[in-house]
Amino acid sequence: MDKQQKIAVLGGGSWATAIVKMLSENLETVGWYMRDSQSIEHIKENNHNPKYLSSAELDANRLDLSYDINETVSKYDTLIFAIPSAFLESELHKLSISLENKIIFSAIKGIVPETGLIVGEHFNTEYQIPIENIGVITGPCHAEEVAMERLSYLTIACQDEEKAKKMATYLESWYINAKTSDDIIGTEYAAVLKNIYAVAAGIAHGLGYGDNFQAVLMSNAIREMKRFIRKVHKMKRNINNSAYLGDLLVTGYSTFSRNRHFGNMIGKGYTVKSAQLEMSMIAEGYYAAKSAYKISLENKAKTPIIDAVFAILYEQKSPKKEFKKLTDKLD
Amino acid sequence: MDKQQKIAVLGGGSWATAIVKMLSENLETVGWYMRDSQSIEHIKENNHNPKYLSSAELDANRLDLSYDINETVSKYDTLIFAIPSAFLESELHKLSISLENKIIFSAIKGIVPETGLIVGEHFNTEYQIPIENIGVITGPCHAEEVAMERLSYLTIACQDEEKAKKMATYLESWYINAKTSDDIIGTEYAAVLKNIYAVAAGIAHGLGYGDNFQAVLMSNAIREMKRFIRKVHKMKRNINNSAYLGDLLVTGYSTFSRNRHFGNMIGKGYTVKSAQLEMSMIAEGYYAAKSAYKISLENKAKTPIIDAVFAILYEQKSPKKEFKKLTDKLD
């Protein structure tokens, strides 16, 4: 392993912090860009991120922190983006230097609102990054358990197998197992869709449906995800692998998931606006539902769960009535 | 619907009680055999089963209760067995009348210890019930949620589609959706194997593995289940249907599951004997692990999770070491 490999993480949230922690188990120096200079000072002095995943112990000596995205991008060859998709474009607009020849990994689970694209496609079409220089880092993985050093499995996807394998090596440690895949489109869509299904699980819970129904919902969700992804990018994949089914389960069954929490409020009768105000954070599944619904329509995929979530979130349909209709379509 | 259809339930536990409740939404009279005459008297007076699922309201006027299995079997054409598999044979030995011409449905999720067979196969080979007269009633379904009248989905499997459809009609109501299948072997094995995976989930939890690992474990479990069932009974089936994946999830993610609880104690260091004493009930997954391991070996199925559970429960291997080895086999 080349311990001097030039890898940087962009983003200051929980998942970014978890990835920095994983990398710094292996690398002598990890580049780390975040906007918040106060957090940077805190990390340098106290060895943990004050705002997100503060339980994760970091070794500040190994971190090359910067609040200047251009500085970080100029110094590192491989960039891992872990910025919420809603803020990605405003961050990229700060760049005065080119992303040419950079290897870009997306650890973002969402759709870029400005283009309606998954992150890999966004970098490919908007920034002309060749597809073989784009990768995806996906779970099933709650950042909180990385902080606790509990055994977690990642999937690293890249069409260029060597790049996936290399990144896997840098992320692996005694508590991280990293597998590789060549399905960058499918794994990224899975990470996006699972947030919509987590919203659906939350709505169901908020409406009073129980664990029996939740199991039926998840069993239908994975079949729906398979149909959707096959329409969008047909290739041989086992939808029950950890990057698809595992990622769906860790989110759909998590009571800490923002998306599930958001759905739960909707199911309990909150409006979208009041639920978002209450949460003070935006659930990725909210944006994902809009894009996924559109893509599903265009591709003529059969996606009753996405359709129901879309109707509830964007067409002000009654959650109770939409879910009653949905239950007749599930099996 | 023929409201005078002669259907009886055999067994006095939670799942038997839930099935009686479902049937009595539709039938004028439901036969019900249980050993405990005191419970019968209590049900007649108070309209609920005192020992199991006591929150389920029953209508005693519609119940034809008996503590004489021969009386119940002689009066009814269709018999739903919901007796724990460990006690099935001792109950069947009480029979002085023939099961010939009866339609037998199994609502038992286990392996008959005396023969090592799933219940349908047991009736077929030991009691010469023709395969087309044997059916399976399976979840995902916690009996507790039936008592609360929360929407639940059942799968009714029979090679004779008409018999499956008829049974589905009698079980359905505003809170029960019943689907049919012709895969009696596969659905029954799924119901058996999921208990072993719930034990595995419990062991993992007891050892300190977290939600990230649990998602990986379940994602591997459904793939293992698919391989196992395909080896035992090859036919076209979608392993992600509710009867397989849904049933796995409702048990694997339930914190109320006996199997998960049993596994959790094993993971925490209890011996099998002390865990069983502590629980005062036997986890079906304990017996299932032994039979499934044997069947897996015979059929050369690749089943690392079943193998690990077997080694821990029957060969006194260290849960910590076995799971360490297992984690390297999962992906």
Residue B204 sits in the same domain as residue B55 = no
Query: Has residue B137 got a pLDDT over 90?
Result: yes
Contact B172, B181 (CB under 8 A): no
**Nearest Cβ partner for A242 among B140, B216, B327:** B216
Of B145, B215, B330, the CB nearest to A210: B145
Tokens representing residue B299 in the block:
């059929």
Considering the domain architecture, whether residues A206 and A99 belong to the same structural domain is answered as no
Domain for residue B1, yes or no?
no
Min Cα–Cα distance to chain B from A245, Å: 6
Residue B1 pLDDT exceeds 90: no
- Per-residue pLDDT, averaged over B126-139, amounts to 97
Q: Are residues B146 and B26 in the same domain?
A: yes
- End of a domain among A142, A166, A182? A182
Residue A216 and residue A289 share a domain: yes
Question: Minimal Cα–Cα distance from B90 to chain A, Å?
Answer: 31
Range of the domain at A307: 186-329
In this structure, is residue A76 part of a structural domain? yes
Check if B67 contacts A (Cβ < 8 Å).
Answer: no
Confidence of residue A18 (pLDDT cuts 50, 70, 90): very high
Residue B194 falls in the annotated catalytic set = yes
> Taking a C-beta distance cutoff of 8 angstroms, is the pair A161, A270 a contact?
no
d(CA A311, CA A317): 6
CA B276 – CA A42 distance, rounded (Å): 51
Number of domains in chain B: 2
Q: Under an 8 A CB cutoff, do A150 and B247 touch?
A: no
Q: Is the pLDDT of residue B218 over 80?
A: yes
Residue pair A289/A278 in contact (Cβ under 8 Å)? The answer is: no
Give the contacts of A65 (CB within 8 A, at least 6 positions apart): A32, A33, A34, A40, A43, A44
Residue written as tokens 């507790």?
B144
Instruction: Tell me whether residue A158 is in a domain.
Output: yes
B99 close to B210: Cβ distance less than 8 angstroms: no
Mean local confidence (pLDDT), A136-161: 97
Percent above pLDDT 70 for chain A:
100
Tell me the pLDDT band of B29, cut-offs 50, 70 and 90: very high
Of A127, A152, A182, at which residue does a domain stop?
A182
Residues A269 and A154 grouped into a single domain: no
Provide mean pLDDT across the span B258-286: 91
Confidence of residue A282 (pLDDT cuts 50, 70, 90): confident
Give the per-residue pLDDT at B44. 97
> B151 to chain A: which residues are within 8 Å by CB?
209-210, 212-213, 327
Percent of chain B with pLDDT over 70: 100
A107 pLDDT tier (thresholds 50, 70, 90): very high
Question: Peptide bond before B319: cis, by omega within 30 degrees of 0?
Answer: no
pLDDT at A175 over 90: yes
**What pLDDT does B264 receive?**
96
Is this complex's ipTM strictly greater than 0.90? yes
Exposed e or buried b per residue across B277-298, where buried means at least 16 C-beta atoms within 10 angstroms of its C-beta: eeeeebbbbbbbbbbbbebbee
What mean pLDDT comes out for the span B278-292?
88
Task: Name the DSSP letter for residue B66.
Answer: E
Same-domain status, B197 and B294: yes
C-alpha pair distances (Å), B49 with each of B20, B21, B44, B57, B175: 11, 11, 9, 8, 20
3-class secondary structure, A284 = helix
CB spacing of B151 vs A212 below 8 angstroms: yes
Q: What is the CATH number of the domain that holds A130?
A: 3.40.50.720
The torsion defined by the Cα of B31, B35, B39 and B41, in degrees rounded to 10, comes to 70
Give yes or no for residue B282 having a pLDDT over 80.
no
Q: What is the pLDDT of residue B110?
A: 87
Mean pLDDT, chain B, whole residue set: 96
Of B218, B242, B246, the CB nearest to A249: B218
- The string of pLDDT tens digits covering residues B102-129 is 999 999 988 998 998 999 999 999 999 9
CA distance A248 to A240: 10
Among A133, A157, A182, give the residue marking a domain's end: A182
- Whether residue B166 lies inside any domain: the answer is yes
Q: Which tokens in the block code for residue B12?
A: 């006095």
Closest CA to A15 of A315, A223, A251, A279: A251
A interface test, pick of B137, B151, B305, B324 with most A CB neighbours within 10 Å: B151
Query: Given CB atoms, is B151 within the 8 Å cutoff of chain A?
Result: yes
pLDDT of residue B68 exceeding 80, the answer is yes
A153 touches chain B (CB under 8 A): yes
Quick one: what percent of chain A has pLDDT higher than 90? 92
One DSSP character per residue, A164-219 reads: HHHHHHHH-BTTEEEEEES-HHHHHHHHHHHHHHHHHHHHHHHHT--HHHHHHHHH
Q: What was the pLDDT predicted at A255?
A: 77
B74, two tokens: 């002689």
Alpha helices in B132-210 (DSSP H): 143-147, 161-171, 184-207
Please tell me which of the candidates B140, B148, B212 has its beta carbon nearest to residue A141. B212
**Can you give the pLDDT at residue B142?**
94
How far separated are the first and last CA of chain B, in Å rounded? 49
Question: A68 with A33: CB under 8 angstroms?
Answer: yes
Are B223 and B171 within one domain? no
Query: Does A219 contact chain B (CB < 8 Å)?
Result: yes
Q: Based on the domain organization, do B247 and B115 belong to the same domain?
A: no
Determine the distance in angstroms separating the CA of A86 from the nearest CA of chain B, rounded to an integer. Answer: 25
pLDDT at position B316 over 80: yes
B143 labeled part of a ligand binding site: yes
Is B140 a member of any domain? yes
Reported as a single tens digit per residue, the pLDDT across A210-247 is 999 999 999 999 999 999 999 999 999 999 999 999 99
pLDDT tops 90 at residue B212: yes
Question: Average pLDDT of B230-256?
Answer: 95
The b-or-e profile of A29-50 (16+ CB within 10 A means b, else e) is: bbbbbbbeeebbebbeeeebbe
Query: Token pair of B319, please?
Result: 């849960």
**Domain contains A105:** yes
* Inter-CA distances, A27 with A7, A169, A171, A277, Å: 9, 10, 9, 40
Q: Quick one: tokens of B93?
A: 């030995």
Tell whether A262 is in a known binding site: no
B327 in A contact zone (CB under 8 Å): yes
Query: Does any domain span residue A147?
Result: yes
Within 8 A of A140 by CB-CB distance, chain B residues are 212, 215-216, 219
pLDDT at A110: 87
On whether A94 is known to bind a ligand per the annotation, the reply is: no
Give the pLDDT mean for B255-273.
Answer: 93
Bridge partners of A310, per DSSP, are none
Mean per-residue pLDDT over chain A, rounded: 96
**A251 neighbors A245 (Cβ within 8 angstroms):** no
In this predicted structure, the answer to whether residue A281 has a pLDDT above a threshold of 80 is no
Cβ distance of B215 and A246 shorter than 8 Å: yes
Confidence of residue A323 (pLDDT cuts 50, 70, 90): very high
Do B173 and B224 fall within a single domain?
A: no
Of the listed A163, A194, A226, A290, which one is catalytic? A194
A272: tokens are: 């979208």
Residues B253 and B288 grouped into a single domain: yes
> The domain spanning residue A219 has which CATH number?
1.10.1040.10
Residues listed for chain B? 331
The reply to whether A11 and A138 lie within a common domain is yes
Query: Which among B219, B239, B250 has the least Cβ separation from residue A212?
Result: B250
Q: Do A150 and B177 touch (CB under 8 A)?
A: no
Q: Which residue of A has its CA nearest to B254?
A: A211
Instruction: Say which residues have a Cβ less than 8 Å from residue A319's Cβ, sequence separation at least 6.
Output: A203, A206, A207, A266, A267, A269, A312
pLDDT of residue A59: 97
What per-residue confidence (pLDDT) applies to A256? Answer: 79
* Same domain membership, residue B266 and residue B156: no
pLDDT, residue B198, reads: 97
B109: left (phi over 0), alpha (psi -120 to 50) or beta: beta
Q: Is B60 on the interface with A (CB under 8 A)?
A: no
Residues of B in contact with A211 (CB under 8 A): 142, 145, 250, 253-254
Residues recorded for chain A: 331
Q: List the catalytic residue out of B194, B302, B317, B325.
A: B194
Q: Measured between alpha carbons, how far apart are the two ends of chain A, in Å?
A: 49
Residue A312, domain member (yes or no): yes
| Cβ–Cβ under 8 Å, residues A11 and A81 | yes
What is the mean pLDDT of the segment spanning B58-62? 97
**Residues A242-257: pLDDT tens digits?**
999 999 999 999 877 8
